[in-house]
Amino acid sequence: MRNAFKTISEIPNPEKSEYKRALRQWVASLPRSQASATSVFVSAAGFSPLQVLEEVENETDLGKEFLAGLYALSLRLKAANKSTSIADLIRQSS
């Protein structure tokens, strides 16, 4: 993912805020053991949902790339005329 989303330089603030809210809600909905267990893999490195949320909240490079990935997926869904919201999919995944 490190280079896959370099072309997405700016995520609109409403979407960025919604993705962050959805991630917070998703992590909060998980049992503590799941929230702290390594289960998200990015570029061969493993992270817990709590770590991903921290990266996103602190807007680190990883956090920005994670959000860019969500935004790119959202754009692809829209192009395919899918009405599914990425934020809703995140919330429903727990």
Q: DSSP class of residue 77? A: H
Q: DSSP class of residue 2? A: T
Residue 74 has a pLDDT of 87
Tens digit of each residue's pLDDT, the chain (94 residues): 444 445 566 899 999 999 999 999 999 999 999 999 999 887 788 999 999 999 999 999 999 999 999 999 888 888 887 777 777 777 777 6
Residue 2 has a pLDDT of 46
E strand or H helix that includes residue 54: helix 49-57
Per-residue burial over 25-41, b if 16 or more Cβ lie within 10 Å, else e, is ebbeebeeeebeeeeee
